[in-house]
Amino acid sequence: MTSLRQSIETYIHAKDGNRPHLMHSAFTVDAELVMQVKTEEISFPSSVKGVGNISAVLVSQFAQRYENIYTLCMGTPPDGESVFRCNWLVCMTEKASGAVRVGFGKYEWVCEDESGKVSELKITIDEMKNLPGELSPLILEWVQTLPYPWCPRDLPARSAPDIPAVQKITEHLAG
């Protein structure tokens, strides 16, 4: 039997590693994705229904545009909850331009049955900064040193590179 924690970890590995085949292990067949995007720097549909469509949007289409993706769930993993909320941090590079993106937001995971699979995922994107590609080595070297995929809330701020946009994001997550 799968736990909600395992489903979340499977989703992170599927999205970050471009492994759409893993999504069926993380989500129910009729799962729903709801997106709230509070920035102009990235766009997603506001709602998607079904694991196949969610996989297309969050894994396959995402991987066409981005690589070197690191998604961190901030805080401790769920332990038996059927609804779990956490902040997240993401760092990635754009394939086309080489720009590096750093963003944060909130996840709300809902598991409605004993399967441990996600039946509803709400993603809020609070901020997504688009930074010059020459900063990518520094940002990617930093993010790969952080615990993956579960990271203590205050840890990114303690070691963040001296880049104002990154410092602002990590300070927000630590607060």
CATH at 11 = 3.10.450.50
Contact partners, residue 108, CB within 8 Å, separation at least 6: 83, 84, 85, 120, 121, 122
Count of structural domains within the chain = 1
**What is this structure's pTM?**
0.94
Residues 82-124 pLDDT 10s: 999 999 999 999 999 999 999 999 999 999 888 899 999 999 9
**DSSP, res 93:** E
The answer to whether residues 7 and 118 touch, using CB atoms and an 8 Å cutoff, is yes
pLDDT at 1: 61
pLDDT at 39: 85
Map residue 1 onto helix, strand or coil. Answer: coil
Could you write out the DSSP letters of every residue in 117-150?
Answer: -EEEEEEEEEEEEEE-GGGHHHHHHHHTTS-SSE
What is the domain range of residue 26?
4-174
Give the C-alpha separation, 79 to 129, whole Å. Answer: 32
Residue ranges for the chain with pLDDT beneath 70: 1
